[in-house]
Structures are given as C-alpha cells and as structure tokens.
C-alpha cells in the first residue's frame, strides 16, 4: 500500500460542480478559506482482495494535494455504522461491492481531482461474490465479512451468533400457538412476494464540507441526524463530542436515505490528511451506490375462521442488506413489527433475516421496513377475502384493532379509530366503469406503524428583550416544513405573530440535542419539546415579574399575552427589560421530551396508513393510468393542514413510484440503471387524475393539541393497494413489483390464458 503524502497547493479556480457531478444546484453552499475539492475512486469489482494501490501518478498531477487510501487510516478508527461499525471509510484489504470507495483524491480543483481518478492503479485478486440472498445463505457461500465488528475497537472480532455468517441480523417475534391454530383454521392462505431494491431519489445528492480548526472538527452536511453523525465522527478521530460540530442547513430531501452517517467520514478524512477544508459532492450514480432500500422476499401464511376472523399469521422475511449493515438491522426489526398489519392476531410467528450480499449497502427508506412486509401481508389478506367470499373491506373491519387494544404485548395501545378511517377511505373510492377498452381495478390497504422512534428531544426558546423569540432545535428541515410547524407551535403557545418567531435548527454546537429527524416524529415530539420550552419561558417571566414587583409568584399570571399581577401589566419584552435593567437580556426556556410519563410506553404514537386507488389498465399494452388516489391522514390534530396534505400526497406518490416503475436492476455485479433516466421515478404526467386527502382529526395524539405524526403512513400500504387493484382488473395476483407495462402485459396474457383454459 502507498504511504499518505501531501504535496504543494495552488490557488483553486472556480468551476461549476455540475460539470463533473451532475449536481447543479442542491449542494452545501459553503466556501471555507483555502478550500479543497475531493472525488472518490470506486471499486469496479464486487468482491476482491486489494493487492496494491499505486497513487504515484495521481500525486504527480499538478493540483493534486493528497490521495488517501484505507491503509492510511490505521491511526484512526477506520469504520463507521449506526448499528454495527462494519462500514470501512475506505476499503481495507478488500472491496465488498461494485462502487465501494477505494481512494479519496483531494485537489485544489474539482476537475483536477476528477482527472486524477484514472491515474490511481488498483491491483485486485477476484474473490467469489454472492449477489443475492439465496447465494449468500447457501452452505458453501463466500463470506462477505469473515469477522464481526466491535464498536469500541478498530480491530474486527469473530462473531458467529447468527444462523449463517452472512446474516447481519436475525430476529423472531411471536406469541400464542401458531401450529395449533393452523390445524384448526377453516382456510389457510399462503403467498410469496418480492419487493425490489429502491433508491429514495432526493433532489440533493450526498455532499459535505469538513475542516479541522483549533483541534475541533467542523462539518457541514446533508445529514438528517447530525447528532448521530457527530458521534460517529468523534469515534473515528478519538475526539470528545464537544470537539465535533455538525451542521445541517436546508436539506434537499432525505426520505430516510440521509439518515445516519454517509459521506461525512470521507470528507473529514480529506481534511485530516491535508489540514485544509475539503468539500465532497457525489453525483447521482455515486449516491445510488451509497445507499438504497432493502429488497425483500416474504412468505406469508394466514389461517382464517369461516367468518373471516384471523386466527393465526406466519411470516418469513429475508432482506437483502448489501455489503454493510448500516441501519438494516433496525429496518429488519421494524419490518418484523409491521408486516402483520393493524389486526387482532391471537397467534403469531415472524422470522426475519437481514443478509449481507456483495451489492450496494441498504439502509433507511421512508416507511422503514413497513412497505416491504405490507405488500406481502395485505395482498395475502385480500386473497383470503376472495377465497372466503367476503368483501375485502368487511374482512378488515372484522379484524382491525379497536382503540386501546394492543397490537403487540408491552407496546402502547392503539390510539386511532381504524374502522372509522377505513370507512372514510372506502366511501370515497370510485369503483365506476372503466373507459372503453380499459379494465378498472380498485384496491386499498391498511397499515399501522410504531412511529416516533425513541422519544428523546430538547428545545430551547429564547425570549428577547423586544418580545420576539428564537426557537432552537436539533431537528433537520428536509423540505417537510418542520421550520414552519415549530414556529406555529411556539407562536400559538406564546400568543405571538409568526413574524416574531425565528427557528434555528441542526447545529450540534449551538442547538440542543435531537436524537433523530425521521419516523414522522418532528411535529409530535420536537413540537412537544417546543411547547414545553414555551411554558418554561412563561414560568420564568412570571418569576422575573414577581421579583420586579416584589410580590409572590403565585400572584403573577399570564393573560392576553402579557404578564399581570393585580392592576399591573407588562408585555413579555417589558418584563425582560425590567428584570435585566437598561442593558437588556433574554429569558431562556427549556423543553425536554424523554421516555417518561405519558411517553413511557412505546411507540410514542401509531402512524396510520389508509390508502386506496382506482386504476385503469390497457390490456394490450400493460399501461396503467391511476384514475383516483385517496389517502386518510389520521393525525390527531393538523397543526398545518396544507402541509399534512402535502406530506400525504408526497408519501403516496413515492409509493406509486415503488409500485409501478421503480427498481434498481443488477446485471451481475453492477447496477445498470443508476442514473436519472433509466431509474424511473414518478413524473408530473404520472399524477393521478384525482387525489383526495382526508384529514381525520380526533385530538387523540400525545403531541401539541393532540397531534400525531404524518409523512410515512400513506407510503406503506400503497404497493399492496396497487397490486390488489391490478389483480381485480386482470384476475391474476401479482407477486412482485414494479407493475410496469411489461409486467402488467404479461399478467394480462396469463389471465387470458387461465380464463380460456390454455
């Protein structure tokens, strides 16, 4: 391996990022003094031992400052990972998937860094590759990881607690007597489904800027969870958390794909190697190779009584996690929790495996394990209804949990009226005739996910001497509108105009701790922290007024947005100025949310998914047109109804993409559609002819004013709803996605063949 070398630098010139990366607009808009630019050399092998890396030609190129390879990181903790620190910053000893970072080129100019990529010579010895879960789980399979990894040591440790060494995580869940219940069932329905790999396709690709200054590491990034990124970086460089600062400005979309650590260690290593600020921007193809959603193969067996009552369900899930665990162990945990639906199930058995393969790493994706299992579980329910001769909606009504019933032992009881939500959905769906030459199908689905993550949030509200406020929160604005909603909550609590409220977010050095931005938690849990911080501000203002007026605190009240006692009254700003004196000051309130009191039980809330579609199919071409899309957003209280509808439409549209057109396609070791053209996300021309978002407000959430989260619910049951609609139109049940024209055309031919008996 080469030794790390840093060579002389020159003043960089400015070139549009778009010339190299295709990321023209949405990147971190930060320029630091004497900033360098980085590009990543990626492996062109799926599984290979690294024999040698010759960087001399690249280092000789004028403008190249450093070339960093995995062996240069021996003095650091060279791995990262949210659940398991198995992810090498730069490949060490071997590569595990096509596209894995092998070397980091740092140069004075982006174009120079790009030119230097071809000058790094990597010599490999090919190793057998396992490119799908069947190959990975075979008895004689090659091992993606020969060892496991400890979170406290840079040295791998041998682990073998799972059923196969290519299993990254394994979990079982269940209760009752499944085998006995199957023996007594009137009908047993067994189905198999495959959900493909997906890419979240945020508008902004991965990018970051890093520098070391005064012994501290500062990073500006596209991170959804800056505090978790800071923790990973602190471990890499053996720094205390107080010496790591991660800031996330407005992020151009995330959908889970920007959860946890991604490109920040690469960027920080560049800064560590050069002693200068370094910026790294990935292009679309690199972003796709950075993370994706787990694909899933699911086998479901459901035992029904003659009246449609569910007696027992059995699920077996296998997730393709790719080369590194990232967050897939938690995705598997959630998939296991969510696959069997919001139904009363007296006997249950679920077994799940997250499997290492020599493919790009999987991680979080909007819905977080729910949609893969929901496709399997809901289409199985629909086929059970068909065989029992019971209306699919009625079958669900008979089995949906009632308010207060527990889906799983030890978890919070159901906090929604699921039957009422289903009725709202079904009443709105249009099952009318299709246009001439088309076939119409109607499908719908239900889901309830244990949302909100761990209830851990902190917010600060600073009352200024002029009566305006600053809200400080570690939550990240991803385009979901959290900055607006948190400002609304603060303004409502304090009786202020929105113009008097400023929200500052996502800076581990200046904003208070926020564990995560995800799981539809921000309005509910961060909003609760803001609400409590506002109450703390008012309490402190009352105390300050009592000292100024020299009266008991109990005599001081808040009335009509003023501090009053007897016949005396001061505005908030006047109270601050009176207590501090002529120089002015500020009063700071803190709001803390933790797993205690009303939040002691998990999940903090159940996020409900109720969606339905009516679609028209051209049997000659397989083309699907979505005639109608209906969602029910059971949000407890809509703090901002327009944003609620936008979140529901966005989630459902993303679900339509996954159901109808999207999938990452591997040809051997390489993704063949890792680009903006062949990976087909929904376009404006794909929009449903009509969209209805029904907002159900019953004030039954634990958040501000009874709010519950929204943002993932409509995503989760969409694939199953589309599959059911296609099946009802064609008479054939699909068992895999996407339902693109070719797939639907083949299903139509199969349906015709079955009906004709040929």
Burial class, 705, CB count within 10 angstroms (exposed 0-12 / middle 13-18 / buried 19+): middle
Question: Would 276 be classed as within a structural domain?
Answer: yes
Say whether both 120 and 231 belong to one domain.
yes
At residue 571, does pLDDT exceed 50? Answer: yes
Q: How many domains does the chain have?
A: 3
Q: In the predicted model, what is the mean pLDDT of residues 474-485?
A: 91
How far out from the chain centre does Cα 581 lie? 48
Q: What percent of the chain has pLDDT over 70?
A: 94
How far out from the chain centre does Cα 692 lie? 25
| DSSP assignment of 289-348 | HH-EEPEEEEEEEEEE-TTS-EEEEEEEEEEEEESS-TTHHHHHHHHHHHTT-SB--SEE
Question: Would 39 be classed as within a structural domain?
Answer: yes
How far out from the chain centre does Cα 327 lie? 10
Quote the mean pLDDT of the chain: 92
Say whether both 461 and 442 belong to one domain.
no
| Sign for the pseudo-dihedral over CA of 19, 664, 361, 74 | negative
Would you state the pLDDT for residue 758?
Answer: 63
Tell me which of 394, 547, 712, 742 is the catalytic residue. 712
At residue 430, does pLDDT exceed 60? Answer: yes
Q: Which of 238, 263, 290 is the last residue of a domain?
A: 290
Say whether both 629 and 559 belong to one domain.
no
Q: What percent of the chain has pLDDT over 90?
A: 84
Phi, psi of 214 (to 5 degrees): 55, 40
pLDDT tens digits for 663-720? 999 999 999 999 988 999 999 888 899 999 999 999 999 999 999 999 999 999 999 9
Q: How far apart are CA 524 and CA 529, in angstroms?
A: 9
Band of the pLDDT at 6, cuts 50, 70, 90? very low
Band of the pLDDT at 584, cuts 50, 70, 90? confident
**CB of 360 closer than 8 Å to CB of 323:** yes
Q: Kindly report the CATH number assigned to the domain that includes residue 546.
A: 3.30.365.10
Per the structure, the complete domain to which residue 407 belongs is given by 400-450+604-756
| Cis amide leading into 603 (omega within 30) | yes
Q: How far apart are CA 694 and CA 730, in angstroms?
A: 29
At residue 32, does pLDDT exceed 80? Answer: no
Beta strands 64-69; 101-107: pairing state: antiparallel
Q: Of the candidates 617, 660, 614, which has an alpha carbon nearest to the alpha carbon of residue 749?
A: 617
Say whether both 667 and 749 belong to one domain.
yes
In this structure, of 13-27, 69-83, 134-148, 552-566, the range with the lowest mean pLDDT score is 13-27
At residue 40, does pLDDT exceed 50? Answer: yes
pTM: 0.92
Burial class, 102, CB count within 10 angstroms (exposed 0-12 / middle 13-18 / buried 19+): buried
According to DSSP, the residues that pair with 316 across neighbouring strands are: 299, 351
Would you state the pLDDT for residue 718?
Answer: 97
Say whether both 406 and 503 belong to one domain.
no
Say whether both 668 and 720 belong to one domain.
yes
Say whether both 583 and 612 belong to one domain.
no
| Sign for the pseudo-dihedral over CA of 301, 306, 307, 311 | negative
**CB of 599 closer than 8 Å to CB of 492:** no
- Cβ neighbours of 196 (radius 10 Å): 18
Encoding tokens for residue 679?
A: 């990976």
Q: In the predicted model, what is the mean pLDDT of residues 223-236?
A: 94
- Cβ neighbours of 34 (radius 10 Å): 13
Band of the pLDDT at 160, cuts 50, 70, 90? low
Say whether both 535 and 676 belong to one domain.
no
Question: Would 322 be classed as within a structural domain?
Answer: no
Question: Would 157 be classed as within a structural domain?
Answer: no
Q: What is the DSSP letter of 216?
A: E
Q: Which of 563, 578, 599 is the last residue of a domain?
A: 599
Let me know if 204 is a catalytic residue: no
Q: Please enumerate in sequence order all residues whose Cβ is within 8 A of that of 84, keeping only pairs 6 or more positions apart, or say none.
A: 148, 149, 151, 168, 325, 329
Question: Would 155 be classed as within a structural domain?
Answer: no
Would you state the pLDDT for residue 10?
Answer: 27
Strands in 121-126's sheet, in edge-to-edge order, are: 94-95, 48-54, 121-126
Question: Would 167 be classed as within a structural domain?
Answer: no
Tell me how far CA of residue 346 lies from CA of 379, 414, 447, in angstroms. Answer: 20, 16, 18
Q: Which of 558, 573, 599 is the last residue of a domain?
A: 599
At residue 543, does pLDDT exceed 70? Answer: yes
Q: In the predicted model, what is the mean pLDDT of residues 427-447?
A: 93
Band of the pLDDT at 158, cuts 50, 70, 90? low
Say whether both 570 and 701 belong to one domain.
no
Question: Would 656 be classed as within a structural domain?
Answer: yes
Would you state the pLDDT for residue 20?
Answer: 27
* Pairwise pLDDT comparison (606 vs 11), residue with the higher score: 606
Angle at Cα 543 formed by Cα 537 and Cα 546, nearest 5°? Answer: 140
Say whether both 535 and 489 belong to one domain.
yes
At residue 18, does pLDDT exceed 70? Answer: no
Question: Would 474 be classed as within a structural domain?
Answer: yes
Q: How far apart are CA 101 and CA 92, in angstroms?
A: 10
Say whether both 584 and 630 belong to one domain.
no
* 3-state secondary structure at position 460: strand
């Amino acid at each position: 391996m080469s030794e790390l070398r840093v060579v002389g630098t020159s003043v960089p010139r400015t070139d549009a990022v778009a010339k190299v990366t295709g990321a023209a607009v949405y990147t971190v808009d930060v320029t630091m003094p004497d900033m360098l630019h980085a590009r990543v050399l990626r492996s062109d092998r799926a599984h290979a031992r690294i024999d040698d890396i010759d960087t001399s030609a690249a280092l000789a190129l004028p403008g190249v400052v450093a070339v960093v390879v995995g062996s240069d990181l021996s003095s650091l903790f060279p791995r990262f990972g949210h659940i398991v620190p198995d992810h090498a910053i730069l490949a060490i000893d071997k590569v595990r998937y096509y596209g894995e970072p092998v070397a980091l080129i740092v140069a004075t100019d982006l174009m120079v860094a790009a030119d230097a990529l071809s000058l790094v010579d990597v010599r490999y010895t090919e190793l057998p590759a396992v490119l799908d879960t069947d190959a990975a789980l075979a008895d004689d399979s090659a091992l993606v990881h020969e060892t496991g990894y400890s979170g406290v040591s840079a040295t791998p440790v041998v682990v073998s607690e799972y059923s196969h060494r290519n299993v990254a995580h394994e979990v079982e869940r269940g209760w009752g007597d499944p085998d006995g219940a199957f023996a007594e069932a009137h009908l047993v329905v067994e189905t198999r489904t495959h959900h493909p790999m997906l890419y979240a396709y945020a508008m902004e690709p991965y990018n970051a800027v890093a520098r070391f200054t005064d012994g501290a590491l500062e990073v500006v990034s596209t991170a959804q969870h800056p505090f978790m990124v800071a923790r990973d970086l602190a471990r890499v460089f053996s720094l205390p958390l107080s010496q790591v600062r991660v800031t996330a400005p407005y992020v151009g979309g995330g959908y889970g794909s920007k959860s946890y650590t991604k490109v920040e260690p690469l960027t920080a290593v560049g800064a560590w190697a050069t002693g200068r600020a370094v910026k790294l921007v990935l292009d679309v193809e690199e972003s796709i190779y950075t993370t994706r959603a787990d694909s899933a193969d699911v086998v479901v067996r459901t035992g029904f009584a003659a009246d449609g009552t569910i007696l027992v369900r059995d699920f077996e899930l296998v997730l393709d996690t790719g080369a590194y665990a990232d967050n897939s162990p938690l995705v598997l945990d959630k998939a296991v929790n969510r696959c069997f639906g919001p139904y009363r199930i007296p006997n249950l058995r679920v077994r799940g495996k997250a499997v290492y393969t020599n493919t790009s790493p999987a991680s979080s994706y909007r819905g977080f394990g729910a949609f893969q299992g929901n496709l399997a579980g809901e289409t199985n329910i629909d086929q059970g209804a068909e065989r029992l001769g019971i209306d699919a909606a009625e079958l669900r009504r008979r089995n949906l949990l009632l308010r207060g019933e527990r889906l799983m032992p030890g978890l919070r009881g159901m906090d929604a009226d699921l039957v009422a939500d289903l009725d709202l959905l079904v009443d709105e769906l249009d099952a009318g005739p299709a246009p001439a030459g088309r076939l119409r199908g109607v499908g719908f689905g239900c889901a309830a996910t244990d949302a909100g993550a761990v209830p851990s949030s902190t917010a600060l509200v600073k009352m200024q001497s002029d009566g305006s406020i600053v809200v400080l929160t570690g939550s990240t604005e991803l385009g979901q509108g959290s900055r607006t909603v948190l400002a609304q909550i603060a303004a409502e609590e304090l009786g202020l105009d929105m113009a008097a409220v400023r929200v500052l977010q996502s800076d581990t050095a200046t904003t208070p701790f926020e564990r995560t931005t995800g799981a539809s938690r921000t309005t509910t849990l961060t909003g609760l922290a803001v609400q409590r911080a506002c109450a703390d501000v008012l309490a402190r203002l009352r105390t300050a007024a009592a000292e100024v007026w020299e009266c008991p605190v109990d005599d001081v009240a808040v009335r009509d947005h003023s501090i009053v006692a007897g016949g005396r009254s001061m505005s908030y700003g006047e109270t601050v100025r009176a207590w501090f004196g002529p120089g002015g000051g500020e009063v700071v309130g803190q709001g803390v949310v933790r797993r205690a009191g009303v939040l002691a039980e998990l999940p903090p809330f159940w996020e409900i998914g109720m969606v339905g579609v009516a679609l028209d199919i051209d049997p000659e071409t397989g083309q699907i047109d979505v005639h109608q899309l209906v969602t029910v957003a059971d949000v407890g209280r809509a703090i901002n109804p327009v944003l609620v509808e936008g979140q529901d439409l966005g989630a459902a549209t993303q679900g339509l993409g996954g159901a109808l057109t999207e999938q990452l396609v591997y040809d051997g070791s390489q993704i063949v559609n890792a680009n903006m053209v062949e990976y087909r996300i929904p376009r404006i021309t794909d929009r449903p002819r009509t969209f209805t978002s029904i907002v159900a407000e019953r004030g039954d959430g634990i958040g501000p004013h009874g709010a519950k989260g929204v943002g993932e619910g409509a995503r989760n049951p969409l694939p199953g709803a589309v599959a059911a609609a296609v099946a009802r139109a064609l008479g054939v049940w699909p068992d895999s996605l996407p339902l693109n024209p070719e797939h639907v055309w083949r299903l139509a031919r199969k349906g015709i063949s079955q009906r004709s008996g040929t």
